[in-house]
Amino acid sequence: MDWGTLQAVLGGVNKHSTSIGKIWLTVLFIFRIMILVVAAERVWGDEQQDFVCNTLQPGCKNVCYDHFFPISHIRLWALQLIFVSTPALLVAMHVAYRRHEKKRRFRNGEKINIEELKNEKIHIRGPLWWTYTCSIFFRIIFEAVFMYVFYYMYDGYQMPRLVKCDAWPCPNTVDCFVSRPTEKTMFTIFMLAVSGICMMLNLAELCYLVIKIFLKRSRKTTVLK
């Protein structure tokens, strides 16, 4: 079970998304998951090994590393991506439930073509509209929460070059040097920017859905008149 399987699972959801939703999914997979796997993981690969402290005291390096990096950027991004992509499964479950209802009606006598049912695109209306809107809302919330967690944990988005550590068993204050700080800062800013773009896409999709429903409602009231 890895990113490939997640892509397979979410690829199915793609069929029932809006166009903005499809763009969002593409950005997620290509500019975030793929970059994480092919590039970012290598940059952070030697984060603990090459974290060097100016002391011979055994254990000081471990303690200082743990103090300044409670959870690695890579793991935070992995969790962020998992949480941000899962609300789409709510939509997939709702679509599957609707199809199941249609199949049940077919079994009770109504004539529906089963093959067509499988390939049919379900329109985002009624309770599905609410499920879809909730999923987008959750996506936005998760993105914002993780961006805040990053900011809070690492005091901004820049990777420091040097940290001064005085946790036991380090003697007095010890200088510790982070491995590849500039490259890490670049990738942090890149992932932040793409995260911002994804949030904008989600907000745009939310506005699109709300405007569409209002237009539909106003068209209905004018037709009724």
Q: Which residues bind another protein (CB under 8 A)?
A: 1-6, 9, 41, 48-49, 57-59, 61-63, 65-66, 69-72, 74-75, 78-79, 82, 86, 89, 93, 97, 107, 169
Shortest reach from residue 79's CB to another protein, in Å: 7
DSSP 8-state code for residue 31? I
Distance of closest approach, residue 185 Cβ to another protein, in angstroms: 20
**By the 8 A CB rule, do 77 and 143 touch?**
no
CB of 2 to another protein, least distance (A): 5
Distance CA 199, CA 39 (A): 22
For residues 163 and 68, the answer to whether their CB atoms sit within 8 Å is yes
Please state the closest distance from residue 211 (CB atom) to another protein, in A.
32
- 62 CB-near residues (< 8 Å, 6+ apart): none
Residue 136 · residue 87 · CB < 8 Å: yes
Question: What are 162's strand-pairing partners?
Answer: 177
